Amino acid sequence: MNLQSTVAPPAPGAAHSPQPARRDAFGREASGPLAGIVIADFSRVLAGPYCTMLLADMGATVIKVESPSGDETRQWKPPVFEDQSTYYLSINRNKRSIALDFGDPGDVETAGNIAAGADVVIENFKPGGLDRFGLDYGSIAERNPAVIYASITGFGSAGGATLPGYDLLVQAMSGLMSLTGDPGFPAYRSGVAVFDVITGLHAAIGVLSALHERSQSGRGQRIEVNLMSSALSGMVNQTAGFLLSGNVPTRMGNEHPSIYPYEPLPTADGEIILAIGNDRQFRTLCDVLGAPDLATDPRFGTPPDRSHHRKELRPLLVDLMAAKPASEWFDVFTEARLPCAPINDVRGGIEFAERLGLEPVVDVGAGDDTIPGVRNPITFSATPASYDLVPPGIDADRGDILGWLQSQQQR
């Protein structure tokens, strides 16, 4: 076990400086806040691997346990980078891989030893799927009472236990697809597996919370998250709007149900996003557009007024914004501190982040063995994230992992 001692936080206002890197059981230098924590990762595809990658960036040692055929995303192509799936590469850095066949009793024993030696176990098998291998929470906790055991499912372990947990299914069942797209047209899924990502984040929050509790009590516990619950929570105002008012929201294209203007609007040569959330911003917008009288028009005086009269307001704004191209409006609106945005493609999004100094792209790996990756979005002043291990090949670290197990058993 790698239970860390509780360290008193610095006094308020105390200066922070990067902490020296420590080496884990595999020799990896890790300066992040989770250095010393070992995670047995029995997850695959997206929600679980995204969670464990974020934790690995923060210094945790992540042992990725795969079947001999590997994580399914290894074969999700195109696009590719040197014939490797970019999907797999996007969520599996800073990990070590071992391939184990659960039809082989020896490999099952190895899997159990890995789980028993870890601080955290993360799995996304169907509910009960690991029971017959002795890899369920009860079996692992009997050997390792301090273990944090996180289970990720599609629809929970009760009535939805037999349902397959795919993000697209949850987007449909949760109601998100009923909100996505233009009125009168078919429903659309999000362009990203948004509920897999949200569930991965919820799993990470749960793991970190349980580790904090364990640092005080010494107790482990089981965490359960599922895509459906994460979806209903993640739709925030839309689900709350139904629960509190009985309103069933519908597709509105790019419009917002409660505020206006909050959508793309045409200009002389293309569209630009405006996100006007309060009266002050609306008055500023009217001044910038040369139409201050709109701000005093009783139809548009408050957010509910503007929302109710959007059909009258929109053509007035469209006429005024036809005077300039989108790039000029962006400069004008930004100078006036109005929320606005160009509509970029992914290349444009990365380039825009670079211009802002966000340094969105990092080198993953070391020396000549590096690939580009997206920076971990969390910045730590004293314990920065690291990106020293490229996503592993199948079974690439068997020797090191078995050596670590042997050292654990000799303690």
**Active site amino acids:** 196
Asked whether the beta carbons of 251 and 233 are under 8 A apart, the reply is: no
Which of 182, 203, 148 shows the shortest CA–CA distance to 251? 182
Q: Are strands 148-153 and 120-123 parallel, antiparallel or unpaired?
A: parallel
Asked whether the beta carbons of 130 and 138 are under 8 A apart, the reply is: no
Single-letter residue type at 177:
M
Asked whether the beta carbons of 135 and 111 are under 8 A apart, the reply is: yes
Structure token pair of residue 39: 């995670």
Using CA atoms, how far residue 74 sits from 60, 70, 80, 292, in Å, is 23, 7, 10, 57
Using CA atoms, how far residue 61 sits from 39, 43, 124, 163, in Å, is 6, 15, 19, 32
Phi, psi of 102 (to 5 degrees): -70, -5
Asked whether the beta carbons of 306 and 313 are under 8 A apart, the reply is: yes
| Torsion angle, alpha carbons of 182, 183, 189, 192, to 10 | 40
Q: Kindly report the length of the chain.
A: 411
DSSP 343: -
Which of 49, 40, 70 shows the shortest CA–CA distance to 140? 40
Residue 129: its H or E element? none
CA–CA distance, 102 with 206 (Å, rounded to integer): 27
- Tell me the β-bridge partners of 365: 370
CA–CA distance, 120 with 204 (Å, rounded to integer): 11
Q: Would you give the distance in Å from CA 392 to the centre of its chain?
A: 21
Asked whether the beta carbons of 170 and 228 are under 8 A apart, the reply is: yes
- Residue 137: Cβ-neighbour burial (10 angstroms; 0-12, 13-18, 19+): buried
